[in-house]
Amino acid sequence: MKLAPFLAGMVASSTLVAIVASSAGLSLSAIIGLVVLTLVVAQLLYLGLILMLTRAERQRREAEEPSETQSSTDLAIAGSRGEARRG
């Protein structure tokens, strides 16, 4: 997910909250408080999305690479043993 669409969504949702709160007759401090709360919730949701995407990517990589990782580890160990015997 790109940052620009997220920022546009934050601005749009904050504007919508401000319009609804203003039409409901809330005070300026209440409107500002609701807008700030909306921004905080949006950032927490974005952080949650990033964490979920990161976890899914890690699981996908772990599922497709165990044989490659094991074989490269075996080669590295075998290579270091060969060097130790010569030296």
pLDDT in tens, 51-80: 999 999 898 888 887 655 555 555 556 555
Residue partners of 34: CB distance under 8 A and separation at least 6? 17, 18, 21, 26
The whole-number average pLDDT for the span 4-21 is: 93
Residue 25, CB half-sphere, CA atoms under 13 Å: how many?
0
Element spanning 7, H or E: helix 3-23
The whole-angstrom separation of Cα 11 and Cα 2 is: 15
pTM for this one? 0.64
